[in-house]
Structure 1
Amino acid sequence: MGDFFAAALAFPTVVLSIPLVVVVLFWLLAAFGVDLDGGVELAYGLGGVPTSVVVSLLVPVAWFACLAGTTLVDGFDIAILAGSLAVGYLVARLAVIPLRHLYPTVESASRNDFVGKVCVIRTGTVTASFGQAEVTADDGSSAIVQVRQAGQDPLTAGVTALIFDYDQDGEFFWVAPIPTYPLGEH
């Protein structure tokens, strides 16, 4: 066991032992509910999954390759370190390919996504220069948005309206009332 720790704490393996300890601490904290994933998008074939997953694949594989390399080959420390990093990268890159399906990319919502949706007026009235409404996005979240109407329809708090356009200059939505009919009449 002493030889194992000696090899793990000797150059070049120690260079990867420190990141390995960081990865282990990260996952211990994650197990206790601490959210540490910064969301940095990696390049060079490693994107599409959380950074924590990529690093958690790359570092242990590179560490093990470096440990095995230093115990099997004397000397060539820099070459072993570089080779172990290359092995870690290749294994992580191959592992990321099927994992990308578990982490689909979500396009960020655009204001134009609200056009055509029904909203609920939240202010006492809506005029050509004032009004707010609550609208629900496709993901289930809701937003309070600025709304305006061209007519004089009685759009008051609690009334549903249809968002039919977005004014980019004024940064508000145009709304119109939704006609309601008593049952049986059309």
Structure 2
Amino acid sequence: MRVALSFPTAVFSFLLIVVVGYWIVVITGISDLEGDAPWLGFGGVPAGITISLLVALAWLLTLIGSQFAAGPLLWAVPVLALGGAWLATRVLIAPLRRLVPDGPQPSRGDFVGQRCVIRTGRATPDFGQAEVTAADGSSAVVQVRTTGQDRLTRGQTALIFEYDADGEFFWVMPYESEQ
């Protein structure tokens, strides 16, 4: 305990307490892991994971280094520990970076404004499914609903004009192509 609260380990002990507090907040659901840390050079991996690992490794390396350094050399320990933690974090985060796709993730809202093809026998205000093609070329079958008296049948093209998040379906209307 004495070593963790004395210089140079105390520099990172405080940060480690902040990291533990952050994870308590995340686990309790008060916050989440949004955002990444491109400014750290670890783009694509959530900042909470990256910074937590960096601080934990820097604290551990400072704790170890403080046992072997003395006098003026003790002032170099936090700097060397941070550099070592930086390199170790880059190595440890590399496999995670491959698991996290680059760029913004597609959402259901991306289908708004797209044409779709009715795939069920009919689409009404209460029932219907349609196939829609995403910008990347993949297709999805989605729940759709019509407004008013619109009734669409299998194979008809419709235009998605809104997403209802509560009902988890798309509002569609007949689409007439200009030919």
TM-score of the pair, normalised by structure 1: 0.60
Matches within 5 A, 1:15-54: 15-54=11-50
Distance 2:76 2:33 in 1: 31
Cα deviation, residue 27, structure 1: 1.9
Q: Determine the structure 2 residue equivalent to 1:60.
A: 56
| 1:66–1:84 contact (8 Å) kept in structure 2 | yes
Q: Determine the structure 2 residue equivalent to 1:79.
A: 76
| 2:115–2:159 contact (8 Å) kept in structure 1 | yes
Q: Determine the structure 1 residue equivalent to 2:66.
A: 70
Structure 1 counterpart of 2:115, one-letter code: G
String of CA shifts for 1:69-125, please: whole Å, max 9, x gaps.
Answer: 111111323311111111111111111110123322344568687433258797xxx
Distance 2:133 2:52 in 1: 34
Of 107-116 and 135-144, deviating more is 135-144
String of CA shifts for 1:154-185, please: whole Å, max 9, x gaps.
Answer: x8455345239xxxxxxxx995259xxxxxxx
Q: Determine the structure 2 residue equivalent to 1:159.
A: 151
Structure 2 counterpart of 1:77, one-letter code: L
SS at 2:158 equivalent: strand
Distance 1:86 1:141 in 2: 49
Instruction: List runs of 5+ in structure 1 lacking aligned partners.
Output: 123-134, 145-154, 165-172, 179-186
- CA 1:111–1:68 in structure 2 vs 1: closer, same or farther (change >3 Å)? closer
Distance 2:85 2:98 in 1: 21
Matching residue within 89, 92, 112 for 2:89:
92
Distance 2:124 2:77 in 1: 66
Distance 2:37 2:149 in 1: 43
Cα deviation, residue 48, structure 1: 1.1
SS at 1:163 equivalent: strand
Q: Larger Cα Rg: Structure 1 or Structure 2? A: 1
SS at 2:90 equivalent: helix
- CA 1:61–1:176 in structure 2 vs 1: closer, same or farther (change >3 Å)? same
Structure 2 counterpart of 1:71, one-letter code: Q
Q: Determine the structure 2 residue equivalent to 1:176.
A: 175
TM-score of the pair, normalised by structure 2: 0.62
Give the fraction of aligned pairs with identical amino acids, expressed as a percent.
26
Of 48-57 and 26-35, deviating more is 26-35
| 1:136–1:143 contact (8 Å) kept in structure 2 | no
Distance 2:26 2:141 in 1: 27
Alignment length (residue pairs): 145
Q: Determine the structure 2 residue equivalent to 1:182.
A: none
Cα deviation, residue 24, structure 1: 1.4
- CA 1:61–1:115 in structure 2 vs 1: closer, same or farther (change >3 Å)? same
Distance 1:26 1:50 in 2: 13
Instruction: List runs of 5+ in structure 2 lacking aligned partners.
Output: 126-130, 135-139, 161-171
